Amino acid sequence: MSWFKRKMQGVSTPTKEKKETPEGLWYKCRSCKNVMTSEDHVAHSWVCDKCGFHERIGSIEYFRILFDENKFTELNRNVSSGDPLVFEDTKKYTDRLASSKKKTGLVDAVRTATGKLEGHLVVIGCMDFNFIGGSMGSVVGEKIARAIDYSIENKRPFILISKSGGARMMEAAFSLMQMAKTSAKLTLLAKAKLPFISILTDPTTGGVTASFAMLGDINIAEPGALIGFAGPRVVKETIGKDLPEGFQTSEFLLEHGFLDYIVERNDLKSNLSIMLNHFQVK
């Protein structure tokens, strides 16, 4: 069994000679494990070229996908959370906010901006799931409300990309009332006869589903997104049975009549442009 024995002693590869792949050069699909270069993945709008899995992305990526030449003016960039309830569970809310800001480089869970989408002047809001689960507190409500005001003042269509676990518990009833606030503001947009396009992405649940996300003149979703009011775990506990396959996915919602259509991220921009053309007042 001599081939089992190491003939040469002390064989080792020094660390600097080890051939490790540099971080970020490759992307491995979370769904089908397909490996592609990160460059291709980005060029593919962060969608797997083999199985079509839509990776979760944030406002930076969506703005890059949607705004012409990635040029836009951000609105109310520095609006940030207070701590009205001096909330503390296992951690202080202010500490949670600080660490989220540090980790993500964001100010809160939504960014709003205005710019051109294939030439159409629009206002786009996009939620960031990385920031405390994309939860809606006072800042999210306020920035969406101000973005709607801006849309009305400047007669621009409003597009909102939802990606959120729901209301932010650490702002309790303040968070709850953001549902009423954003919905009430949308009535003003409707009165001004300006289109509101709601894009639901993975995941959109709770108070966000039960307010603006479901109130689009057009409700669009990305394929395979989790969309619901109660989370799947809660529903499962309530009925005491396993959930049917595909429950609360985009396809499920389309089937039950709550979405106008599903669009792949690669087609999102051109699709929105067609839709905006339809809405244009001649």
Partner 1 sequence: MATFLDFESPIADLNEQLEKALEIKAKGKVDVSEMIKDIEEKISETQKEIYSNLNPWQRVQVSRHPERPYTMSYLKNMTTDFVELHGDRNVNDDKAMIGGFAKIDGHSIMFIGQQKGENTKMRQYRNFGMANPEGYRKALRLMKLAEKFNKPIVTLIDTPGAYPGLEAEERGQGEAIARNLFEMAQLKVPVICIVIGEGASGGALGIGVGDRILMLENSWYSVISPENCSAILWRNWEHKEQAASALKLTAENMLENKLIDGIIKEPVGGAHSNREEMFENVKKAILSNLKELISMDAEKRIEERIEKFSKMGVVED
Give the interface with partner 1 as residue ranges (CB under 8 A).
76, 78-82, 84-85, 87-90, 137-139, 141-142, 145, 167-169, 171-181, 183-188, 206-207, 209-215, 228-230, 234-235, 238-239, 243-244, 247-248, 256-258
The DSSP call for residue 240 is: T
Q: Residue 26 or residue 252: which is nearer to partner 1 going by CB?
A: 252
Positive or negative torsion for Cα 79, 81, 82, 85: positive
SS3 98: helix
Please name the amino acid found at residue 241.
K
Q: For residues 22 and 282, give the distance between their C-alpha atoms in angstroms, rounded to a whole number.
A: 53
Least distance between partner 1 and beta carbon 16 (Å)? 44
Q: How many residues does the chain have?
A: 282
Q: Residue 114 or residue 164: which is nearer to partner 1 going by CB?
A: 164
SS3 266: helix
Least distance between partner 1 and beta carbon 273 (Å)? 26
Least distance between partner 1 and beta carbon 25 (Å)? 38
Q: Residue 19 or residue 241: which is nearer to partner 1 going by CB?
A: 241
Tokens 């690669």 belong to residue:
266
Least distance between partner 1 and beta carbon 41 (Å)? 31
- The H-or-E segment that residue 250 falls in is helix 250-255
SS3 32: coil
Q: Residue 148 or residue 268: which is nearer to partner 1 going by CB?
A: 148
Least distance between partner 1 and beta carbon 204 (Å)? 9
